[in-house]
């Protein structure tokens, strides 16, 4: 049978995250909250204790197909679940959803869903972080040319690159934890947040329901949990996605034929182009960069959802059916892809060394300038001298060392052997290995 699915989230980009956001999982989260509400009412003596057993068993019998069938008739998804659950409770069905409004159930269930989704993202990001840490330590001494503004600057090491990415991933893990705490809240406070339907027991009802679900009760709500919490979560996902894009973009640039220092994995039977057999396109990294744009775009929608009218309107509801699963599934997919890319990342040492030497030693101008200043030449004078010497070497397509050896003002401060030693790029990476070790300890 041909798959007629429209969204690539169900096919190409599908991950374990899909199971957290699918319709069945959504229904089960709603039922979980309804059962917690019934248990709380029974504890407080608001409903018969026997009702809890029937409602809990009934929740296990509710079928998604039946809920969707009822929704077709009444055009209200949450109430369709309530009716389907009530059908399974012939004796105590009248106590289902007792005192609650739709978003007491929906928003509390959303907190459960996002809490679980954040847990999976945390695991993925930890896996990626571990590989970044490993690469940082393995490559801490591998000297390469550093680039600023797309131009050769001074030497650095590949370990520095990966340590940089590792530290960012570590910060995003912290952000994820903080956002996770703020989203793990629920409400059981009625139509506009006053708890009027629960009489004087509203605070206790909310407290006990959330304790049952391992969530925190909100301090105050209107009809919904406020959307700044949800926007924060999506913003953290966007930061994670952007961090993965940063790595992917660097790999893409370093894989260019003219540079050729690293490459994403390329299978023996992999095809790079339908017409150019030689191509080794960095398509996995390009895919990561493409998807990051989508995750970032959802943050704007989440921000728009913050300013709902009065005690709430429904303008957040429809788009959240897209932005929550989409952002989490795509971020999960990106992390999984990046883990595979980094695990199989290829390095080409000859090209790395070639590029270190590509400018004929011009990238060592800073080092010579500092050495001249240390020997007594004025810093600004040394800078101007090295600037003109570098321009001369560039114009002649020659080596900077040869130009300097022909200038007496240089040899007054530095002997030939000393000058030659300054042009070894492998000895001009500063504290890079130590910085890497400290960054990933």
Report pLDDT digits (tens) over 333-385. Answer: 999 999 999 999 999 999 999 999 999 999 999 999 999 999 999 999 999 99
Predicted local distance difference test score (pLDDT) of residue 176 = 97
Instruction: Return the sign of the alpha-carbon dihedral for residues 297, 16, 212, 174.
Output: negative
The reported pTM is 0.94
Domains of the chain: 17-95 (1.10.275.10), 102-266+278-354 (1.20.200.10), 362-422 (1.10.40.30)
Backbone phi, psi, residue 347, to 5°: -115, 145
Looking at the DSSP bridge assignments, the partners of residue 67 are none
pLDDT score recorded for residue 282? 86
Token pair listed for 297: 């775009």
What is the average pLDDT value for the chain, to the nearest integer? 95
What is the model's pLDDT at position 275? 65
Burial of residue 399 (number of CB atoms within 10 Å: 0-12, 13-18, 19+): middle
Active site residues: 149, 273
Per-residue pLDDT, 97: 96
The pLDDT tens digits for 244-290 are 999 999 999 999 999 999 998 876 666 666 566 666 788 999 999 99
Separation of alpha carbons 345 and 251, rounded Å = 9
Q: Left (φ > 0), alpha (ψ -120 to 50) or beta: where does 148 sit?
A: beta
The predicted structure's pLDDT at residue 113: 98
User: pLDDT at position 424, please?
Assistant: 96
Say what the pLDDT of residue 6 is.
86
Identify the pLDDT of residue 234.
Answer: 98
Rounded CA-CA distance 441/436 in Å is 8
Q: Which residues of the chain have pLDDT under 50?
A: none
Say what the pLDDT of residue 273 is.
62
């Amino acid at each position: 049978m041909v798959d007629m699915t429209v969204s690539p989230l169900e096919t190409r980009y599908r991950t374990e995250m899909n199971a957290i956001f699918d319709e069945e999982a959504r229904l089960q989260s709603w039922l979980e909250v309804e059962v917690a509400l019934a248990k709380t009412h029974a504890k407080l003596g608001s409903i018969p204790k026997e009702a809890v057993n029937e409602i809990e068993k009934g929740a296990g019998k509710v079928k998604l197909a039946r809920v969707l069938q009822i929704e077709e008739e009444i055009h209200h998804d949450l109430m369709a679940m309530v009716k389907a659950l009530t059908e399974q409770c012939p004796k105590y069905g009248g106590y289902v959803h007792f005192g609650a409004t739709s978003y007491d159930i929906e928003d509390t269930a959303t907190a459960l869903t996002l809490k679980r989704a954040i847990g999976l993202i945390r695991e993925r990001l930890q896996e990626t972080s571990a590989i970044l840490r490993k690469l940082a330590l393995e490559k801490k001494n591998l000297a390469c040319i550093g680039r600023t503004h797309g131009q050769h600057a001074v030497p650095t090491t590949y370990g520095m690159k990966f340590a940089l990415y590792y530290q960012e991933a570590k910060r995003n893990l912290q952000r994820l934890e903080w956002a996770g705490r703020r989203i793990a809240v629920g409400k059981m406070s009625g139509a506009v947040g006053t708890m009027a339907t629960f009489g004087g027991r509203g605070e206790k009802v909310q407290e006990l329901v959330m304790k049952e679900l391992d969530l925190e009760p909100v301090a105050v709500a209107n009809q919904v949990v406020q959307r700044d919490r949800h926007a924060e979560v999506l913003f953290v996902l966007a930061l994670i996605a952007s961090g993965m894009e940063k790595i992917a973009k660097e790999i893409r640039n370093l894989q260019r034929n003219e540079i050729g220092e690293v490459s994403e994995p390329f299978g023996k039977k992999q095809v790079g182009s339908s017409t150019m057999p030689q191509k080794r396109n960095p398509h996995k990294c390009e895919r990561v960069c493409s998807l990051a744009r989508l995750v970032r775009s959802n943050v704007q929608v989440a921000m728009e959802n913050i300013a709902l009218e009065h005690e709430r309107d429904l303008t957040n509801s429809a788009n959240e059916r897209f932005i929550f699963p989409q952002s989490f599934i795509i971020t999960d997919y990106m992390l999984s892809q990046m883990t595979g890319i980094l695990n199989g990342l290829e390095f080409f040492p000859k090209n790395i060394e070639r590029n270190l030497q590509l400018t004929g030693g011009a990238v060592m101008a800073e080092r010579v300038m500092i050495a001249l200043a240390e020997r007594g030449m004025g810093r600004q004078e040394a800078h101007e001298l090295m600037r003109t010497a570098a321009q001369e070497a560039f114009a002649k397509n020659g080596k900077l060392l040869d130009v300097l050896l022909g200038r007496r003002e240089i040899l007054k401060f530095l002997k030939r052997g000393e000058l030659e030693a300054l042009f070894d790029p492998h000895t001009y990476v500063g504290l890079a290995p130590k910085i890497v070790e400290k960054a990933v300890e």
